[in-house]
Structure 1
Amino acid sequence: MENPPPRCKFTVILFIIISLSLSILSFLLCIAAEIKKNKEDNLRWNGKLCYLPSSKAFGLGIAALVSFFLAQIIANSILLNYSCWRSKSKCQYKMPSIAKVLILISWTSFGFATILLIAATSMNKRQPYRLGWLNGECYLVKGGTYAGSAILVLVTVCSANASAFSTIKSSQKNQHTKIHKQMG
């Protein structure tokens, strides 16, 4: 008797498609936030105090963060559910070293992208007189901050999904087929 193929293949592929879709959505929201962020024209200065109104980039940035977090959670749940990190019991796939490097890249770029998105998004919230963004001063998001976050979003989720995909592919190559002798 041959071993049937793992039932989780469809689930893994579905999770990869969902996480890639969410990361593309997050990428597009980051690009839209880059376009809609506050500009110098929006800054009001009375000689002593500054004021910046809220921009649409604030909502777009929050939506990008939420979809980015969901994409990262889904991409990493594939690895946590179907591969071995430390213990050899109850795991379906052994994680190759390239997958470990890819997951390290994923989490590193996730940290940088999250920091950039949170800072840029919070700067696009309303900055009233005397409060500003930090110490009563108004700050504008530098050009390219959201675009850089968008690139890091794609790097993060693609490397996490590539890690899951390489784990599954390497385990399929290493499966041993059992040959049973016919009795009788």
Structure 2
Amino acid sequence: MGKGSRGVSCRSAICGIVALLSATAFACSVAAEFRKVKDKDVKLDGSLCSLPRSSAFELGVAAIAFLFVAQLVGTSAAVTTAYAAKPRKSAAARGRAAFVALLALSWLSFAVAVILLATAASMNHGQRYGRGWMDGDCYVARNGVFGAAAALVVVTALTTLGLTFATEPTAAMAPAPASPAAAPDACASRTHPEAAAADAEQPGGRSKQ
């Protein structure tokens, strides 16, 4: 019971950490959507353009950092649990396939979310005259880019949390089968003195006859 409760509490702690970090990354992504530079912020000087620095840059970088830590903690714990567990042969193939599918989906959504966040954040880093985002031209992140990244953060968090339930630490949850075997031994240890007492009384009874 001690090992099982310890495993459940450890899993709950990991899920709590992943959920908290993912929620923070989601909040930063949503906030960056409202703080990003807009088309009206573009300043022109002849053929040159510039864009001011926006707080969406810091929010995007923070979202990437929180999401990365959440992904690293969640997947590392899930892979460690998967290698430590010893599932039955009948359920091994199905469990392994589900685990690999969730792991691949988690890292795929993570990669796309990071690409969107990094690209949109770099556009909000500030673009000076003659030194735009690309080839001296100024670019503004489209509406919904940070929002799409926030949606992918949710997908990544859900799949990462699903990884913790795809594998069960059987070594920690399985009870020790010592109590059924101990009961017959205890009964046998009690019956032996009773049988010895009965054998001791039988010769006495025959002598009286």
Is contact 1:110-1:156 (8 Å) kept? Answer: yes
Partner of 2:162: 162
1:122 partner SS: helix
Partner of 2:105: 105
1:1-35 Cα shifts (integer Å, max 9, x gaps): x8942633212210111111110111111000000
Partner of 1:75: 74
Is contact 1:68-1:153 (8 Å) kept? Answer: yes
- Aligned equivalents of 1:31, 1:118: Cα separation in 2: 14
- Aligned equivalents of 2:21, 2:129: Cα separation in 1: 37
- Aligned equivalents of 1:37, 1:178: Cα separation in 2: 61
Taking structure 1 as the reference length, the TM-score comes to 0.86
Is contact 1:131-1:137 (8 Å) kept? Answer: yes
AA aligned opposite 1:106:
S
5+ residue gaps in structure 2? 189-209
Partner of 1:52: 51
Task: Name the one with the larger helix percent.
Answer: 2
1:24-55 Cα shifts (integer Å, max 9, x gaps): 11111100000000001110112301100100
Partner of 1:150: 150
- Aligned equivalents of 1:120, 1:93: Cα separation in 2: 44
5+ residue gaps in structure 1? 85-90
Distance 1:65 1:93, change over 3 A: farther
- Aligned equivalents of 1:168, 1:55: Cα separation in 2: 45
- Aligned equivalents of 1:126, 1:3: Cα separation in 2: 55
1:118 partner SS: helix
Is contact 2:29-2:147 (8 Å) kept? Answer: yes
2:132 partner SS: coil
AA aligned opposite 1:41:
K
Is contact 1:30-1:146 (8 Å) kept? Answer: yes
Count matched residues.
175
Partner of 1:21: 20
Distance 1:93 1:73, change over 3 A: farther
- Aligned equivalents of 2:11, 2:5: Cα separation in 1: 10
1:161 partner SS: helix
1:133 partner SS: coil
- Aligned equivalents of 1:107, 1:175: Cα separation in 2: 31
- Aligned equivalents of 1:6, 1:166: Cα separation in 2: 18
Is contact 2:67-2:153 (8 Å) kept? Answer: yes
- Aligned equivalents of 1:56, 1:78: Cα separation in 2: 33
Percent of pairs identical after alignment?
Answer: 31
AA aligned opposite 1:162:
G
1:38 partner SS: coil
Taking structure 2 as the reference length, the TM-score comes to 0.76
1:62 partner SS: helix
